[in-house]
Amino acid sequence: MELLKDRRVLLGGGAALALIAGLGIALALMHGAKSPTEAPPASRGGLVVETGRADDTKLDPARPLRCFVGGQFVGETTLAECANKNGVATGALDVGVDETGALAAADQAGLVLTPLPPPAEAPTVPAPAATPAAQAPAVSSTPLAVCWRYAGGEWRKLPGEITVNACAQQISGGKCERAGGATYGRWGDETLRLVPGRVESSSDNRTFHSIIELGPNCSIPSA
């Protein structure tokens, strides 16, 4: 009887230990299945994209840049030294981007350089207009943007907002571009470049791709 009693005690103790162990495992599994309350690091830190380049808008007068004289590269100099080599005042020298993607200076940016974009304009707040009679608004599927033309070493803004094809027509002026030449403009945030046979576009002022093929007599389609 004593032996039987001891066995009952042992079996009861073993069952109790097994129950406790099972409860511990269940609690651990339930805790691990809960969703984390803290967001993962990847979701806390967003992707930061930097657009443009600082040296496109700020130029240190003492910083060397690539200098062109008569369309020929003559080395890296300061802006003042490059102006002296070109025989012009510093303010008369154009600064732009050359074919290597670096800042450079020349006596005329449109020849060997892509001119830098025009300065950003301060946004204008339109005056509140009277509420028109209720009618279905006309929706245009063709994108419109402000058009600029680069000529004579300066940017000239054209009135209103127009399509990219209309902007290219305004930039070309109905003339054919000579071999090796280029005429520049801006449509919204895009730089346009007219070269023989086509119109090219660039979003970074450095890498261009063709967007319009010219027709007979260098004509540009309306759309």
pLDDT of residue 128: 64
- The size of the chain, in residues, is 223
Q: What is the pLDDT of residues 102-124, one digit of tens each?
A: 888 888 766 678 888 887 766 65
Task: State the average pLDDT for the chain.
Answer: 76
- Give whole-number Cα distances, 201 to 40, 90, 129, 193, in Å: 40, 29, 36, 6
pLDDT computed for residue 201 by the predictor: 96
pLDDT of residue 15: 57
Q: What is the pLDDT of residue 135?
A: 61
Q: What is the pLDDT of residue 151?
A: 87
Among the residue ranges 30-39, 48-57, 90-99, 135-144, the one predicted with the least confidence is 48-57
Q: Residue 211 belongs to what H/E stretch?
A: strand 209-213
Task: Please tell me the predicted confidence (pLDDT) of residue 44.
Answer: 38
Q: What is the mean pLDDT of residues 205-220?
A: 93
Beta strand 94-97 with 209-213 is unpaired
Q: Give the pLDDT confidence score for residue 136 in this predicted structure.
A: 53
Q: How many CA atoms lie within 13 A of 185 on its CB side?
A: 26
pLDDT tens digit string along 29-62? 565 544 444 444 333 333 332 334 555 555 778 8
pLDDT at 40: 40
The pLDDT of residue 60 is 76
Q: Which is more confidently placed, 134 or 52?
A: 134
* pTM metric for this prediction: 0.62
- pLDDT for position 33: 46
pLDDT computed for residue 176 by the predictor: 92
Position 3 pLDDT exceeds 60:
no
Residue 159 has pLDDT above 70, yes or no: yes
Res 191: pLDDT: 95
Whether residue 110 contacts residue 218, with contact meaning beta carbons closer than 8 Å, is answered with no
Domain ranges of the chain: 56-115, 145-218
To which H or E segment does residue 67 belong?
Answer: strand 65-69
- Say what the alpha-carbon torsion angle 170, 184, 178, 144 is, to the nearest 10 degrees: -40
Confidence class for position 101, pLDDT limits 50, 70, 90: confident
CB burial of residue 15 (10 Å; 0-12, 13-18, 19+): exposed
pLDDT for position 207: 93
Instruction: Tell me the C-alpha distance between 155 and 146, whole Å.
Output: 12
